[in-house]
Structure formats: structure tokens, C-alpha cells
Structure 1
Amino acid sequence: MQKSNHKSIQELADSIDTSVSTISRFAKRIGYDNYPELQLAIKQQLDNPDIAAVDIDNHDPNILVAEKVFRSNSSSLNKTFDLLTETSLNKAVDLIKNCQKLTFFGLGASEVVALDGYHKFLRTQVEAIFNSDYHMALMQAAKMDENDCAIVISHSGQNLDTLKMARILKENRVPIIVITSFSASTLAKLGTTTFYSVSDDSKYRSQALSSLISQMSIIDCLYMSVMRDESKHNSPKLARINSVIKQTRE
């Protein structure tokens, strides 16, 4: 099972002498939307022998604590990357590039990720919006429509306030890019496209805090792809942004 969990759907189909469509139907039959969601569920259920090795012991010297933190973060990033697909990335980038407004939604620890995303996309030609106040975020969600795009972040995918915002967006037919850690969560099902962040629990840091690095990295991937495409065209707006930022360093 561990070996199959690292294979793409085509590689798994070839190794067990079946078709991609058969595996896809199997994933849906047992309650998942697609094969990547099934992969994520398997990852979360398997006992990972590396987890104990990176957990912090009361007597660890500081340099060993640092080593374990870096190893844990690296492990989370690698697992998150394994769940990324070209299809989902292309879809999300297209939604962002073609929207009138890109709004970030996140509460609690996820607010840190939303703010980070907002800060990144302010440097692009995309009109980025973020409200840290929950009621203001609700009003912003109510104003959006199918020409906009929302990025909604929640580790559990079950936060009631986050779900309320997501449902308002859904009612307004707003395309939603979801970033969460649980494929079976309610929020994951509301996404136009959904990305999954993987994190390991530890004695001194919850999964919710650990997942921030993976979630920020997913947003960074989207940001870099958008910036790559924007750099192909001479944009007066982008030139003004870079000029203003440069002035702060002189």
C-alpha cells in the first residue's frame, strides 16, 4: 500500500494491470471525488515511521530541535507536492488570471496564510483583496460574482465561519480555490478546484500550525505561475508596482 500511494494514477494502473478509469471509478465508489483525494486519505491513515524520528524530546539540544523542525517541514512539503497535479494548477492559474477580483479568506491560523497570499498577489496585475475582520469578509463574499475568484483556506475544512463564507461564494457562483488538509471535509467539496496540504502532528506544534508552510507554498506556486505569465508582457501597472517597491530600498 505504501508503494502504491506514491504512484500516479497511470503508474498504479500499469502496475496492477488495470485501467485508469477503473481506479477512478473505484475511488468515487468508496466516497472520494477522485484519485488524489484517495491518495491523501491513505497518506493520513498510514503509520509514518519518520514522525517519531522528528518529534521533539524534552532533552533535545537546540541544534537537534532545529534539525527535526527542518526535517518535518521538508517532509510536509514533499508530501504536499506529491498531491499537486498539472490539471489543478492550470485550472487555478487560469481562474486567477481571468478574474476581476481575487479575494483571500481564512480565519485563525489560516488568516496568516490568507494575508501572505494577499501580500504576494499585490505585486501582480490581479486586483487582490483581503479582510481580516470576519463580518467585513462576509460582506466582501456577498459582493462577489462569477467574474471574480476566491481562495479559501482552512486546515480542517470544517470551520463553521469559513464554511459560511464559502457557501455565500458558492451561492453567488464565485469560482473557489480551496486549500485544506482533509479531502473528506465539507470545504473540500465546495471548491471549484481543491489543493491539499499535508502536515505532521507533533508534541509542541499542532497539525494546523504545521500545515501553514505547505499552504503558503501552494499559494506561492500559484503566484509564481501568474508572475511568470505576466512577465511575458510589458505592463505599465507592474512597472509602477516594481518602481514603488524599489523606492523603499533607496
Structure 2
Amino acid sequence: MDNNILKRINSLTNVEKRILDFINLFHEKEFDFSQKELSQIIYCSEASISRFAKKYGFNSYKLLTIYINKRIKEIEFLENSIDHLKNEKGFLNIYETQKYAVNSALSKENIFKIKLATSYIKKANKVFLFALGTSAKIMSEFAVNLKKISIHSIFDMDFHSIFPLLGTIEKDDVVICLSNNFNNNEIHFAIHKAKELGAKTIVITSNYENIFANLIDIKIIYSKISNLENLVPLSSKISHLVILDYLFNYILNSDKKYQYYLQKTNNILLEWRKLVILKENK
């Protein structure tokens, strides 16, 4: 299990590496050093600590300490959970499978491809989403999320209801196919037709084979884990969820207008909940 509080990044100076090592080797219950106290322990300037915090995306040292303390609690919780799982038959194997699935889905190569996919989606007039079976359930949430931020996504749980809409694909559209094995005739047909009509194509799959390479603009590949003890493909579901969640968040944070629209949709939900509560209390 990864017990590091902060991940190492490539652009750290030697002083910043000492700060990082001190944080990651910290094993107490609470990280309560002031900026001055930490600078004296590390033998560095307070300005070095401020620069370190900003490199990790925090506007101030105080926000960094809040994150560190939150992370300490998460690690403690995970360690306690894992100890408990050791006594439960099969549970630890499931946990290890899920952890591997997440790490595989978020490889350096996949993150690059997710960023590239984001640029395609931002430029698209329409985003067509295709998936079958369990994958379709996961894709449905992604479709709704895109709609919340004003991106025109087209999806239906019934694959054959959306299938005829392939005819409406245009040059500036994007087609995303989520398919574990990438061996469905329907998915293959969708990819062929999308490329024929000039759309950008994105495939998320565990299939490493170089099939239809000339038809796929971006292929995001995750590792499929075979576990004879579990007939349900846990790793594939985890990989699908992780990749689509990261893709959505990259899109969301790429433009303030998307954040604006998401806030508006959330405000509608809040208004509705308040209305329901008021009616229930009458």
C-alpha cells in the first residue's frame, strides 16, 4: 500500500526534496508545525516552504498542512481497513485487484491520452457515446455529467436505440466507445462509420491488439485482471469508472464556463431539495 502523503514530482529542488521526505516520513497523528518551525527543522528558508506548497497546488502553507492532516487520517483509516480485510476470505484479493486496476488506468500514457481526448471533446459539436451491458451503466453517468456542463452528449442505455443516430455524425463530432474486450460487432461498426463520416474516435478498452488502428484516434488501454475466485469483472468496472471520472474532471477544469454550468445545475438540485424539505416540514 502507498503510504506516501505527497507524491514526488520531477521539478523539485534539493531543498524541496528534503521537505517532501520529511513530510512523507512523518508518522505522528497530527502535522502541526508552523512554517517557521518547519523551516528550522529542515534548515531552509520559509520562502522555500512557500514555493514547495505552491508547486503542489496550494495557495498557502496553511492549506498544505490541512491536506497533510487529512491525508494522515486517510492512511490510518486504510491501514486499519486492510488489517481487517486480512481476516476476511477473498476481501484482500479484491482490494489488491482494485488497487492494481486504478494504477493501471492512471498510467502516465493514459493521462496524456485523457488530456488529448479532452481537447477533442471541447472542440466537438456533439459527443456520441457507445457502450454495451455493464459498460453502458457506467457510460450513462458520464453522459449526464457532460450534459450538466453544456456539452451535447448523445447516449442511450439501449444501444440499438442510439445506433441509427450514427447517420447524424458530422466532421466536428467525437465518438467515444467504452468496451472491455472490444470485440462487439456493434462497436466495430460504430467506429467504422464514425471515421467514415470524419469524426474523432476514442476507444477505452483492455484489448491491447492493434485492430482498427487506422480508425482510432485515441485508444486508452487498461489492464484486465483475471481472478478465478471472482466471476464478476471487478477490475474492468473500476478501470471504466476511474478513466471516465478523470476525463470528466479534466474537461471540467479546462474551462471556467464548464464550472459555471455545473454550479448552475447543482444550484437547481439544491433549490429542489430545499423545496422538498419545506413541504415535508409543513
TM-score normalised to structure 2 length: 0.60
Q: CA deviation at 1:180?
A: 0.7
Over 3 Å counting, the alpha-carbon distance change for 1:212 and 1:235 in structure 2 is closer
Aligned counterpart, 1:247: 271
Aligned counterpart, 1:104: 129
Spell out, residue by residue over 1:196-240, the C-alpha distance to the aligned partner (whole angstroms, 9 max, x if none). Answer: 12121112435855312102211111100111123x348764443
Over 3 Å counting, the alpha-carbon distance change for 1:236 and 1:180 in structure 2 is closer
Counterparts of 1:202 and 1:184, CA distance in 2: 21
What are the ranges of 5 or more consecutive residues in structure 2 without an aligned counterpart?
Answer: 1-84, 275-282
Over 3 Å counting, the alpha-carbon distance change for 1:78 and 1:141 in structure 2 is same
2:273 is aligned with what amino acid? Answer: R
Q: CA deviation at 1:242?
A: 2.1
What are the ranges of 5 or more consecutive residues in structure 1 without an aligned counterpart?
Answer: 1-59
Spell out, residue by residue over 1:34-59, the C-alpha distance to the aligned partner (whole angstroms, 9 max, x if none). Answer: xxxxxxxxxxxxxxxxxxxxxxxxxx
Over 3 Å counting, the alpha-carbon distance change for 1:225 and 1:234 in structure 2 is closer
SS at match of 2:188: helix
Counterparts of 2:272 and 2:251, CA distance in 1: 24
Over 3 Å counting, the alpha-carbon distance change for 1:96 and 1:66 in structure 2 is same
Q: Does 1:165 align with 2:190?
A: yes
Q: CA deviation at 1:178?
A: 0.7
SS at match of 2:130: strand
Over 3 Å counting, the alpha-carbon distance change for 1:188 and 1:217 in structure 2 is farther
The answer (yes or no) to whether the contact 2:146–2:153 under 8 Å persists in 1 is yes
Counterparts of 1:152 and 1:227, CA distance in 2: 20
Counterparts of 1:234 and 1:149, CA distance in 2: 18
Q: CA deviation at 1:135?
A: 2.4
**Pairs within 5 Å for 1:64-103:** 64-82=89-107, 84-103=109-128
Counterparts of 2:273 and 2:138, CA distance in 1: 26
Over 3 Å counting, the alpha-carbon distance change for 1:64 and 1:248 in structure 2 is farther
Identity of aligned residues (%): 21
Counterparts of 2:150 and 2:121, CA distance in 1: 10
Aligned counterpart, 2:67: none
Counterparts of 2:87 and 2:190, CA distance in 1: 42
The answer (yes or no) to whether the contact 2:137–2:157 under 8 Å persists in 1 is no
Aligned counterpart, 1:30: none
Over 3 Å counting, the alpha-carbon distance change for 1:105 and 1:172 in structure 2 is same
Aligned counterpart, 1:12: none
Counterparts of 1:62 and 1:107, CA distance in 2: 36
2:136 is aligned with what amino acid? Answer: E
The answer (yes or no) to whether the contact 2:149–2:259 under 8 Å persists in 1 is no
Q: Which piece of structure 1 moves more, 124-133 or 174-183? A: 124-133
Q: Does 1:140 align with 2:165?
A: yes
**Pairs within 5 Å for 1:170-181:** 170-181=195-206
The answer (yes or no) to whether the contact 1:158–1:187 under 8 Å persists in 2 is no
Over 3 Å counting, the alpha-carbon distance change for 1:100 and 1:152 in structure 2 is same
Aligned counterpart, 1:215: 240
TM-score normalised to structure 1 length: 0.67
Counterparts of 1:77 and 1:243, CA distance in 2: 31
Q: Which has the larger radius of gyration?
A: 2
Over 3 Å counting, the alpha-carbon distance change for 1:146 and 1:206 in structure 2 is farther
SS at match of 2:204: strand
Counterparts of 2:129 and 2:208, CA distance in 1: 20
Counterparts of 2:167 and 2:263, CA distance in 1: 32
SS at match of 1:145: coil
Q: CA RMSD in A?
A: 2.6
1:124 is aligned with what amino acid? Answer: I
Counterparts of 2:209 and 2:258, CA distance in 1: 43
Counterparts of 2:138 and 2:270, CA distance in 1: 25
1:116 corresponds to which of 136, 141, 148: 141
